[in-house]
Chains A and B, each alone.
Chain A
Amino acid sequence: DIQMTQSPSTLSASVGDRVTITCRASQSIGSWLAWHQQKPGKAPKVLIYDASSLESGVPSRFSGSGSGTEFTLTISSLQPDDFATYYCQQYNSYWTFGQGTKVEIK
């Protein structure tokens, strides 16, 4: 099984901050990685797929990078609507999620 490890688990930030979340895979997954945003009581919503492709309708302040075993999600300027929990998801071999990173207000 491929394990996904996110860091940090919790991140405190202010509106306007640049935020970076890291996801590491236990083995190479190429570029088969997605990032999802989840707000309380709601289903997750995909932001990024294929490591760096922006899903239609997602603001351009979200970006993804990486390949192999190390990936990052960057929010260039944090907005009030961005306070949520973020999950990485590999799809190289079946599916695995990271444990999540909660972005909270500082």
Chain B
Amino acid sequence: QLQLQESGPGRVKPSETLSLNCTVSGASIRGGFYYWGWIRQPPGKGLEWIGFMFGSIHYSDSTYSNPSLESRVSISVDTSKNQFSLKLSSVTAADTAVYYCARAKGSGSGWFDSWGQGTLVTVSS
């Protein structure tokens, strides 16, 4: 059974870099043709995709970021740990949100079929 689990600090100071990890169990990030990445939800608000990477070993450099965040987003993978990571630089209070890691499958860019439980990150000094 596929499971995704986010981990990382719950609080980040303004102007610093937010760093989160997502550990995947039940499937290999490099197996199949799936996107793996990050979605966030500010308190009481809707969902926003942050960035995704294509997991197939044949397309290992393919990453995609939301244009509204692109200059601040970096996504990387650690195959040995079956884990992928998010770095979001120069954070402000507007980046306070629940951050989810997720998998997208299927045609087009794919629908999100598996989600982590989410982790709240607060940007505050």
Contact = CB atoms under 8 A, between A and B. Distances in A.
Contacts of A39: none
A89 B67 CA distance: 17
A20 to B, nearest CB: 20
A16 interface: no
Interface in B70-125: 100, 104, 106-113, 115-118
Given A50-B107, A94-B64, A45 B48 contact: no
Please tell me the size bucket of the interface on B: 20 to 34
A93 interface: yes
A1 interface: yes
Contacts of A1: 67
Given A32-B107, A49-B106, A91-B104, A43 B115 contact: yes
A93 to B, nearest CB: 7
Question: What secondary structure prevails in chain A residues at the interface with B?
Answer: loop
Interface stretch (A65-73, A75-83, A95-103): A95-103
B49 interface: yes
A32 B108 contact: yes
B26 interface: no
B43 to A, nearest CB: 11
B47 interface: yes
Interface string A27-67: 00010101010000011111001100001000000000000
A72 to B, nearest CB: 17
Contact of B111 (A49, A96, A98): A49
Contacts of B31: none
A92 interface: yes
Given A34-B112, A97-B49, 16 more contacts: A32-B109, A43-B117, A44-B112, A45-B115, A46-B111, A46-B112, A50-B107, A50-B111, A55-B113, A91-B104, A91-B107, A91-B109, A92-B109, A94-B64, A96-B49, A100-B47
